[in-house]
Structure 1
Amino acid sequence: MTDRTRSAMADVLAGRRRGGFLLFFGPAVIASVAYMDPGNYATNIEAGAGYGYGLLWVVLAANLIAMLFQALSARVGIVTGLNLAELSREHFPRPAVIAMWIVSEIAAMATDLAEFLGGALGLSLLFGWPLLWGMVVTAIVTYAILMFERGGFRPMEIVIGALVMIIGASYLIEMFIAPVDWSGVLMGMSTPDLPDARALTIAVGIIGATVMPHAIFLHSGLTQHRAITSDLAEKKRIVSFSNREVIIALAVAGMVNMAMVIMAASAFHQGHADVAEIETAYHTLTPLLGGFAAAAFLTSLIASGVSSSVVGTMAGQMIMQGFIRRHIPIWLRRAITMIPAFVVVAMGVNTTEALVMSQVVLSIALPVPMVALIWFAHRRDVMGQFAVRGPILWLAAIGATVVLGLNFVLLWQMAGFSVPGLAN
């Protein structure tokens, strides 16, 4: 950050300058990329093709939960000056910290599997390359973008913001091309329904792809040292700016996710309900909506894969440093987290199926940061007068309970037991 920017931020916080919101804009934009990663593409395409607009309510609910938890994560980083992993290391017993670190690292690797495969798959389909070539190019591009972090957070935020704009613009184009039934969209957003066991699996995958464990850890780290405050009034102003940014950034992410489901429902549900793979979706889009729509779809997928892979690597570094105070070179972490993707490809595993299952893994790992975040956010000895109370605390507890409940039901189903009220 330049001295000029620091001075401008100090003037805004001290009340000597009006406005200035954009000076604090950035952390939620980076975190929002996690909510538009290729895992979302896999689950949203399957949801739209198989159930039309019927699972849009799941996307909406997941996005609202995400807004709440990202706001809490940013709040914790601003108030304490520590990220969630560092707080956990300071306040929890060592065995619990090690267990949390292992679970979080597994979640980070599952995240990177989805992101890395998605970007590689998009390049492979768009340019007709073998998937392995797409993986190599994705690795080179993501590492090159990670080097922007050496110049401070602003260059990285600008690059990530540009990629987010590409994703959003691509789906705006899709909405103009696809024959959308807007009354069906409103019905799907407002009518909760899970018609069968497969819908439950997809719903949990949507939640796993929307409310991301590594994004909860990362957001607290992005805000912890962003601005220096001299009193409580200045901290309150930063928290207010942060809440506003979270609403804007995650509203955009939520609309992109809904656009994915809407596009898949409009294009595939009638006559192509069996479309459940990204490759099939691309090849089916061309005759249905034209080559321009298919190219926009792949462009957004590539931007999503590259940007979210960069953010996932940043989060992995923060998780390791926070929990166990260890740091490894970016290139080494990038290489380690790529290994599962290469293994999946070498084994011939269906890429879209791997993406969906990675999101289920994420959803199962999600309670770790969610519960820890609620625990710290409500403690007055940690947060002081910024400790959350009343409706916000209850909403956070309800959100975590919903996720835990869905995970339990999914594990019950995967163990071979039927779920009452749901057809197999």
Structure 2
Amino acid sequence: MNKKYNWSVLLGAAFLMASSAIGPGFLTQTAVFTQQLGASFAFVILLSIILDAVAQLNIWRIIAVADKPAQDIANNVFPGLGYFISFLVFLGGLAFNIGNIAGAGLGLNVLFGISVGQGAIISAIIAIGIFLYKEAGKAMDVFAKTMGLLKIGLALFIAYISDPPLAEAAIRAVNPTQFSFTAVLTIVGGTVGGYITFSGAHRLLDARQTGIENLSGVNKGALSAIGLASLMRLLLFIAALGVVSKGAVLDPSNPAASVFQLASGQFGYKVFGLVIWAAGISSVVGSAYTSISFIKSFHPVILKYNREIIIVFISISCIIFEIVGKPVEVLLAVGALNGLILPIALGIMLVAAYRTRIIADYKQPLWLTVSGILVVAIMIWMGYGTIVQMISGN
């Protein structure tokens, strides 16, 4: 029986994935690498979009065809592997959620002058409210779309105000004068690493938009998600480029805020507050939902109390932030971990694509498999190089 895919659900999944990617760390990474690489950062973004799209298409398609969450597919590939992946994703999701709560708290601090801690508690309550709603899935879709459009609209405004050298950025997108492996690893890891790439795919599972007959819709959802996250990255990049190309130096303690403030003064700073709040709270929702989706198939009790466990997850993230403060070191470590999780997760999915007991008679397109293997190899190579750099202290 043919199913007609639900565009509302597909867009909700796309925005959930994109919103999960566009968190406080996303804003900071983009500003920092623009300061470091200038217009040549356009090449890194272009390369990362290609790597992101290949990874996302492979993972979403296999999950949709197998009609199982990633952890169950991994356990079918090799017993126990799903538990290992779930542990990495869950731990990374919790650590990132602490940072997301911090970012949302900072946003309300900038907007209203309340303390970051108070802002974090208010934001956590709003996020919990979404999951308390009877139809949490629909509420999450609407919230993800609203926050996503808000972030893109505000970033577009600041990009316009900053008057960036677009011609130079276009040239450097294909002919860079600088390059950074660490930038590529961080950007790809920040867009499709860790829990992020699974957020939309697991949302499609919950909404029953699965099966070979729905692959056309799955493709559209996966590419829409990458398109949305990439559009936001490009807008932030050209906004930052407009600022730094005029000789301005970003504040290293808060480079993303500097971009908005230098572009549009105090008004720009308030816009930054709204953007980082939207980025933080939407990532809280995406991270909590996806992290718990990696353990809910392991026991009927977890499945039964899925909503309550998500609420506890958000509450614990908030409590840890209130006790510890902003865990910069943890965020940096988990940022690298996100980039390293991707080749493991993608590699498992590529193996699963050729196990008939998982995907039945589905045939994965050869170009997707080959390009997927290339992405795995590139991410392992860059991950190794980054770890060597960190150990050597360079």
TM-score by length of 1: 0.82
CA shift, 1:241, in A, is 1.3
8 Å Cα contact 1:207-1:363 kept in structure 2: yes
> Residue 135 of structure 1 aligns with which residue?
120
Name the CA distance, whole Å, in 1 between partners of 2:235 and 2:120: 26
2:146 and 2:198 map into 1 onto residues whose CA distance is 23
Query: In 2, distance between residues paired with 1:362 and 1:335?
Result: 23
Which is higher, the Rg of structure 1 or of structure 2?
Answer: 1
Match of 1:210 among 185, 191, 209: 191
After superposition, where does 1:374-413 map in structure 2 within 5 Å? 374-413=350-389
What corresponds to 2:62 in structure 1?
A: 76
After superposition, the Cα gap between the structure-2 partners of 1:237 and 1:174, relative to the gap in structure 1 and judged at 3 Å, is farther
User: Structure 1: which 5+ runs fail to align?
Assistant: 1-9, 14-18, 230-234, 418-423
Secondary structure of the residue that 1:179 maps to in structure 2? coil
Secondary structure in structure 2 of the residue aligned to 1:220 = helix
Secondary structure of residue in 1 paired with 2:102: helix
Answer yes or no: is the 8 Å Cα contact 1:45–1:264 preserved in 2: yes
Matched, 1:247 2:223: yes
State the Cα distance separating 1:356 from its structure 2 match: 4.5
Counterpart for residue 176 of structure 1: 160
Aligned to 2:204: 223
Residues 277-356 of structure 1: matches in 2 within 5 Å?
277-278=253-254, 281-282=256-257, 285-322=260-297, 327=302, 329-345=309-325, 351=328, 355-356=331-332
- Change in Cα spacing, 1:157 to 1:174, as seen in structure 2 (3 Å) is same
Contact 1:38 1:355 in 2 (8 A): no
Is the Cα–Cα contact under 8 Å of residues 49 and 275 in structure 1 kept in the other structure? no
Cα separation, 1, equivalents of 2:99 and 2:162: 26
Distance 1:208 1:310, change over 3 A: same
Q: How much has 1:314 moved relative to structure 2?
A: 0.3
Superposed, 1:72-111 pairs within 5 Å as 72-94=58-80, 96-111=81-96
**CA deviation digits over 1:179-226, x for unaligned, max 9?**
11011211332235655xxx4434332222112221233333222253
Asked if 2 retains the 8 angstrom alpha-carbon contact of 1:112 and 1:309, the reply is yes
Structure 1 residues 413, 240: CA separation in 2 closer, same or farther (over 3 Å shift)? Answer: same
Partner-residue secondary structure (3-state), 1:216: helix
Which residue among 261, 267, 272 is the counterpart of 2:237?
A: 261
Runs of 5+ consecutive residues of structure 2 not aligned to the other structure: none
Counterpart-to-counterpart distance in 2, 1:238 and 1:106 = 32
Q: What's the CA shift for 1:400?
A: 1.5
* Residue 60 (1) aligns with residue 46 (2): yes
Tell me the equivalent position of 2:142: 158
Counterpart of 2:171 in structure 1 is: 187
**CA displacement, residues 313-358 of structure 1 (integer Å, 9 cap, x when unaligned):** 001111122456662622222223335534541xx76x5x765444
State the distance in 1 between where 2:259 and 2:208 align. Answer: 48
Assess if the C-alpha contact under 8 Å between 1:205 and 1:357 holds in 2.
no
In the TM superposition, residue 270 of structure 1 has moved relative to its aligned partner by 4.0
Amino acid at match of 2:344: V
Number of equivalenced pairs: 389
Structure 1 vs Structure 2 CA RMSD: 2.7
